[in-house]
A and B are shown apart, each in its own frame.
Chain A
């Protein structure tokens, strides 16, 4: 069965600092991988996704993630944090064997200090 693990339920960075949110997955087949962001009192919004092709994926708001098959990782980064990046971030993998449902990690809450 596929699974997703996000390291760190809470990450705090200073404004302008590097953001690194870690995600590891397990999958028996080539995965489709996603990062979603959830702002307070809102639904989830897609940041970026990896399906095939280039392993470095660029998303919205300056975020990017790199698919590393050898490490089964899909870490999310942003070079310089902004106050508006404060939110909860979810990594997810799509399970093709179960109707393509999304299997989510536990989430990482990002705080940005001024």
Chain B
């Protein structure tokens, strides 16, 4: 089954404790992206990657890192989480940019206390 998987689905952590949210897709998509969803703001892009070893900042990259060492994986790293990073995070992938449909993972709900 074609899908985007994220782990963990739920995470509660404390300020400053490094964490990684994994994202994997099995559709051989080149384009992958991370979004955060906050009430009243819709989804905003954090980082995106157009291919292996190619990443770029989205609209809200501060406090986040990403890497793309393999085509299927695109982890999101929070080196020193803060309470304002409490949010719902989605990973997405697509065959190509623009008109290509983006497939979304199930989401990771992160709470930073």
A residues near B (Cβ < 8 Å) are: 4, 9, 32, 34, 36, 41-46, 49, 51, 90, 94, 96, 98-102, 104-107
B99 CB contact (under 8 Å) in A44, A51, A90: A51
CA distance A49 to B94 in the complex (A): 14
Taking CB atoms and an 8 Å cut-off, the chain B residues in 7-33 that contact chain A are 31, 33
CA distance A44 to B93 in the complex (A): 12
Given A32-B98, A104-B42, 9 new contacts (CB under 8 A): A41-B107, A43-B90, A45-B104, A99-B48, A99-B50, A100-B98, A101-B48, A102-B45, A102-B102
B68 on the A face (CB < 8 A): no
Complex contact B104–A43 (CB within 8 A): yes
Q: In the complex, which residues of chain B have a beta carbon less than 8 angstroms from the beta carbon of A43?
A: 4, 90, 104-107
- Of B4, B41, B58, B99, the most chain A CB neighbours within 10 A belong to B99
Taking the nearest CB of chain B, how far is it from the CB of A52, in angstroms?
Answer: 8
Complex contact B56–A99 (CB within 8 A): yes
B residues near A (Cβ < 8 Å) are: 4, 31, 33, 35, 40-45, 48, 50, 56, 58, 90, 92, 94, 96-102, 104-107
Query: In the complex, how many residue pairs between chain A and chain B have their CB atoms under 8 Å apart?
Result: 64
B41 CB contact (under 8 Å) in A45, A51, A100, A106: A106
Q: In the complex, which residues of chain A have a beta carbon less than 8 angstroms from the beta carbon of B31?
A: 99-100
Nearest to B49 among chain A residues (CB) is: A99
Q: In the complex, which residues of chain A have a beta carbon less than 8 angstroms from the beta carbon of B45?
A: 101-102
Q: In the complex, which residues of chain B have a beta carbon less than 8 angstroms from the beta carbon of A46?
A: 101-102
Taking the nearest CB of chain A, how far is it from the CB of B110, in angstroms?
Answer: 15
Complex contact A32–B104 (CB within 8 A): no
Complex contact B50–A49 (CB within 8 A): no
Taking the nearest CB of chain B, how far is it from the CB of A10, in angstroms?
Answer: 11
Taking the nearest CB of chain A, how far is it from the CB of B99, in angstroms?
Answer: 4
B33 CB contact (under 8 Å) in A49, A51, A96, A101: A101
Nearest to A51 among chain B residues (CB) is: B99
